[in-house]
Structure 1
Amino acid sequence: MTHKLTRTGPELTRRGLLQLAGAGAVLLGAAGCGTAGRAETGGATFVYGRSADATSLDPMNQTDSESYAVIHQIFDSLLRYAPDGTLLPALAAAVPAPENEGRQYTFELREDVRFHDGTPLDAEAVVFNFRRWRESDHPYHRGGGPQSSKFAYYKNLFGGFDDKSVISGVEAVGSHAVRFTLREPYGPFLPTLAGAQFGIASPTAIRQDVDGFWERPVGTGPFTLASWEHGSKITLRRNESWWGKRPTGPGRPVDTVVLTPMPDSTARVAALVGGGLDAVNGIVPQDADAIRDTSGFTVVQHPQECFSYFAMNTRRAPFQNPLVRKAIAHAIDLPTIVEHFFGERAEVAGAPLYGISAFVDRSIQPHPHDPELARKLLAEAGLPDGFRTSLWYMSTARPYLPDGKGVAQVAQANLADVGITAELVTYELATYSERTGKGLHDIAIYGGTTIGVDSYFPLNYWYASASATPESSSNLSFYQNSQVDALLAEARVTTDPEEQRALYANVQRIVHDEVPVLPIAYVSPPVALRSSVAGFGTNIAMDDLDALSR
């Protein structure tokens, strides 16, 4: 049986619904975060509706993109990414060259940079941050709030804490110079430091209240945190003493940014149309089409920075058997799912990696939809009558998954066609992440938003054996393959791009053949805006808001 979907035409029907809903949504927007564009502090205000609230604003103690989006405004890292993925200096005055055959790097810092609390950024501040992350017995190696990741990104990116860390030492070699010593050459070292999780925090603020820092962060970035009303809004104020150079727009500079969580996509878009919001993310393709057809609004697209997938839990029967995983890969109609739930700029994913990654292997083709082959593989696996399982999806829209329920329902129908009965299970985002991290799922829909074009981090994060931890696992298939581990270990210590390309391609092909995850889509997430907003950019993984005007 073939399942066909019908789309609601956006030209009149969808737009009309949104405009009708917008009449009430303006009240919601005004009650939740103030009238869009209102001058609250003498300048312009930008009100941004998004699918979820942040979980923690302590950079190294969170793992979700909604937290990243705020952290990116409050903190600066040593390096940053240009929109095309090129590395640029940030708090560092220049991108350093490797020394001692790639075992040392010396960063010269910008001078006259201050944290939001007025304390100076210097070499000792950078050393403090890295020692806090690296040393498990450091007095401030804690914090992050009730949903702390416990420095999971540092552990994953650098192999662990203390003696397990690739970084063996970090020291001040001048008032504004910091030297990193590595145990071995580490190819992804510089791209890694450009991530938002490596935002440099005020040592003074951490010492004063490390356990409360997650909701009262202090960085050097273009905005300061004014307030955080959990579940309601985050308000940011323009940092007039920011070291960076802001482009000048045609209107008034935005000095207040309000980020409001609204889980329902239609409600977000209706609030935009109704006047309660200036911009929204996490919108479904039909809404993006309707907004493009509505006067006074525009839609901008990020690059293919998002990637979505089905993770099959290889710790649970019958997913230990690769024949079962391959059967599921051929049972699910990916082209139909991507066409109807991800938008025209999305692409059915073949390689199990971000579409904009430097070393994504585009020659890897998606698993074709072939129900007959799926039934044959199930029979070979000893399951000619299929089996019962669960299929988990997020109830909250994500940039990599704008309509989790819709995707899950189509996949459920596809699986039923080959004899697999899948019960749909959903949770709100924080609970979903916690329970999948513990491996309580059978099949789970997940994904991510890249922090750059580096390929080592996502491949290691999703497919390395060491990432399949009992708690807070990032390897949601709990896949373990010694050949993949060896290839990643080899790629980590080479700085030759062509060697890296070959090694990463081998990893992608092994994962593709063994199917611990079924890639769904390379996603270019849309953001809908009022046409009166100027200067809104879409940097890799985060929106740069410092150039906004209206």
Structure 2
Amino acid sequence: MLKTAVIPFLVSAGLLAVTPFAQAAAPVSLVFCSEGSPAGFDPGQYTTGTDFDASAETVFNRLSQFARGGSTVTPGLATSWDVSPDGLTYTFHLREGVKFHTTDYFKPTREFNADDVLFTFNRMLDKDMPFRKAYPTEFPYFTDMGMNENITKLEKIDDHTVKFTLKTVDAAFIQNMAMPFASIQSAEYADKLLKAGTPQDINQKPIGTGPFVFSKYQKDAQIRYKGNKDYWKPEDVKIDNLIFAITTDASVRMQKLKKNECQVTAYPRPADIKPLEEDKALKMPNQPGFNLGYISYNVTHKPLDNVKVRQALDMAVDKQQIINAVYQGAGQLAVNAMPPTQWSYDTTIKDAAYNPEKAKELLKEAGVKEGTEIQLWAMPVQRPYNPNAKLMAEMLQSDWAKIGIKAKIVSYEWGEYIKRAHNGETDAMLIGWSGDNGDPDNWLGTLFGCDAVNGNNFGKWCDADFDKLIKAAKATPDQAKRTELYKQAQHRLKDQVPMTPIAHSTVYQPMRANVTDFKISPLGLNSFYGVGISN
């Protein structure tokens, strides 16, 4: 009897002891080998994918959002919106029950509401608002698109309804509101920072409503996030721990991926693509890139202020050699300032033929002496549109030497590179773009419009005829009419040569075979909501 009494008891006790552990799922962690350190975590301040990946795609949401892996707009923090018949008023109906993140540096006392929308956009609209005065900063994307001028009124109708009034029709307004710069901040958190005298912490200790909660950042090393257990769309949070392992060297990223030290990695070198595709432990989805790598010419610097000089530099570039050496079969030669898959792309535009002798003649006509030196800036990081800026710069240096131009190659850390470029310090620079919203204005207006000369218009090119065309197109709801205007603008841009388009690259996304539901974004972002790891 003693045995029969004791043994069941021990078994039962054992079952009681192990059951909670047996049922509890092990935490799911995913390491992303990213290519560079973000400049900060306030999406409104920045324009690069490196910054957006680390903030907008993890910590924050927007009123409207793009469907994962596409450019279709879906509801976000707004469940729906109404547009007035004249196209000038947008009324957003806000999602209820959305919680801001709770961290060791902030604990919200209320849920998301209209006050947060007003704070987010008033900070970009009003330089005299207290928070903006306490923490002066610029919002280049917002101003590049002229939204600071076009939004004339922002009203709180009630706690869950806000209304935007525009000066002129903006055919891409809903798409623009889904872009990273429009990420919604917490007004309550901003008020706490303002009272504490630390408003700059909004850029270093972010608080949002997004699928991941910011935990820790070590520059040039790592960023750590926790899965948001209170996320309003719980099915999108399949990862408990998300780590960005900042790894600038592409070969090191690939080694880490093969060793399973990271499960997803950014931007493989073209030479690594075939070996990665052959590795059975990995998978390598790919798709044509909605991107453009190009040379920007600063038209405020001599001799680049002369269109003949820009024409000379343009026709002296041996693009095909660059495609072969830099992109190694993973790039398509670019002719226009947007990819061929963008609606309104003008197929009638052709490149000037590669002609060093003609280029020499143009430089002579412009009075440029042989041996004239210019700076050529080369990006320190890989981007979807340029897998090897250093090699590209060296090839351009060689091409331009053949026409008597000495190009001095310059580079800076990525954040500094962009900051100095915004300040107009460049002569010629390598840069590029991945489309953000599927609209032509995101290329022609954001990169070359007059409103963008202090932002992404690194060439500081402001052409009245071009600007008139793109602004008329943006204010026209009819897509056929918009297409015609954008085609005229593309011709004007090609004639004036503020840039030389080089390539559209194919985007490859290496990852471990057990990563589930990762979708390549046509907008050049790396998003981990909805992504999981299978056993």
TM bucket by the smaller chain?
0.7 to 0.9
2:175 matched residue in structure 1: 191
CA distance in 1, matches of 2:122, 2:399: 50
2:128 paired with 1:140: no
The aligned residue for residue 100 of structure 2 is 115
Secondary structure at the counterpart of residue 285 of structure 2 = strand
Give the distance between the partners of 1:548 and 1:159, measured in 2 at CA: 33
AA of the residue aligned to 1:543: N
In the TM superposition, residue 69 of structure 1 has moved relative to its aligned partner by: 0.8
One-letter amino acid of the structure 2 residue matched with residue 141 of structure 1: R
The letter for the 2-side match of 1:401 is N
CA gap of 1:491–1:341, structure 2 versus 1, over 3 A, is same
Q: Give the number of equivalent residue pairs.
A: 496
Q: Structure 2 vs 1, CA of residues 489 and 196 (structure 1 numbering), >3 Å: closer, same or farther?
A: same
Residue 245 of structure 1: CA displacement?
5.6
The correspondence of residues 84-483 of structure 1 with structure 2, limited to 5 A, is: 84-94=70-80, 96-117=81-102, 118=108, 119-141=110-132, 150-160=138-148, 165-209=149-193, 210-244=199-233, 246=235, 253-301=238-286, 303-383=288-368, 385=370, 387-469=372-454, 473-483=455-465
TM-superposed deviation, 1:475 = 1.7
1:522 matched to 2:504? The reply is yes
SS of structure 1 residue aligned to 2:57:
helix
Closer, same or farther: CA 368–295 of 1 in aligned 2, 3 Å: farther
Question: How many angstroms does 1:386 deviate by?
Answer: 6.0
TM-superposed CA distance for 1:157, in Å, is: 2.2
Deviation at 1:142? 5.7
Report the Cα distance in structure 2 between the residues aligned to 1:222 and 1:328, rounded to whole angstroms: 46
User: CA contact under 8 A between 1:285 and 1:340: conserved in structure 2?
Assistant: no
Which AA in structure 1 matches 2:525? M
Q: Could you tell me whether the CA contact under 8 Å between 2:469 and 2:485 is conserved in 1?
A: yes
Amino acid at match of 1:447: G
Distance 1:128 1:441 in 2: 34
Q: Distance in 1 between matches of 2:334 and 2:260?
A: 36
Q: For residues 289 and 370 of structure 1, do their structure 2 counterparts lie closer, same or farther at Cα, with a shift above 3 Å needed? A: farther
The corresponding residue for 2:11 is: none
Deviations for 1:35-74, whole angstroms, at most 9, x for unmatched residues?
xxxxxx9322111111101111112122221110122121
In 2, the alpha carbon distance for the partners of 1:362 and 1:74 equals 40
1: CA distance, partners of 2:347 / 2:526? 26
Deviation at 1:303, TM superposition (A): 4.5
TM-superposed CA distance for 1:98, in Å, is 2.1
TM (norm. structure 1) is: 0.85
Could you list the per-position Cα deviations for residues 447-483 of structure 1 after superposition, in whole angstroms to 9, with x for gaps in the alignment? 12322212223322322234324xxx42221212110
In 2: Cα distance, 1:537 partner to 1:430 partner: 27
Correspondence 1:486 to 2:474: no
Normalising by structure 2, we get a TM-score of 0.87
Displacement after TM superposition at 1:535 (Å): 1.4
Partner of 1:501: helix, strand, or coil? helix
Q: CA deviation at 1:176?
A: 1.4
Distance in 1, matches of 2:34 and 2:381, equals 10
Partner residue, 1:24: none
How far apart, in 2, do the equivalents of 1:276 and 1:436 lie?
Answer: 35
Unaligned residue ranges in structure 2 (runs of 5+): 1-24, 103-107, 194-198
- Label 1:355 to 1:109 Cα distance change in 2 as closer, same or farther (>3 A): farther
Tell whether the 8 Å contact from 1:129 to 1:201 is kept in structure 2 after alignment: yes
Q: CA deviation at 1:355?
A: 4.9
- Secondary structure of the 2:456 match is coil
| 2:15 alignment counterpart | none
> For structure 1, which runs of at least 5 residues remain unmatched after alignment?
1-40
| Matched residue SS, 1:398 | coil
Counterparts of 1:230 and 1:202, CA distance in 2: 25
| Residue 51 (str. 1) matches residue 35 (str. 2) | yes
Greater Rg by CA: 2
The Cα shift of 1:410 comes to 1.0
Q: Secondary structure at the match of 2:225?
A: strand
Shift in Å, 1:233: 0.8
- Root-mean-square deviation (Å): 2.3
Give distance in 1, aligned partners of 2:248 and 2:499.
Answer: 27
- The farther-off stretch of 340-349 and 231-240 is 340-349
Give the aligned residue type for 1:486. K
Return closer, same or farther for 1:392/1:115 CA change in 2, 3 Å cut-off.
Answer: same
Give CA-to-partner distance per residue, 1:332-388, whole Å, 9 cap, x none.
Answer: 111221232235342111111245434333443334323233233334334474633
Tell me: CA distance 1:276–1:88, structure 2 relative to 1, closer, same or farther (3 Å).
same
Per-residue displacement from partner, 1:469-522 (whole Å, max 9, x unpaired)? 4xxx42221212110121122123221111211111111111112111001112
The Cα shift of 1:221 comes to 1.0
Distance, in Å, in 2 between the alignment partners of 1:247 and 1:480 is 43
Letter in 2 for 1:375: K
Structure 1 residue 159 displacement after superposition: 4.6
Aligned-pair CA distance for 1:184: 2.2
Is 1:537 equivalent to 2:519 in the alignment? yes
Instruction: Give, as a single letter, the amino acid of the residue that structure 1 aligns with 2:415.
Output: A
Residue 32 of structure 1 is matched in structure 2 by none
CA change 1:149–1:190 in 2 (3 A) is same
2:484 to 480, 502, 516: 502
1:378·1:386 contact (CA, 8 Å) conserved in 2? no
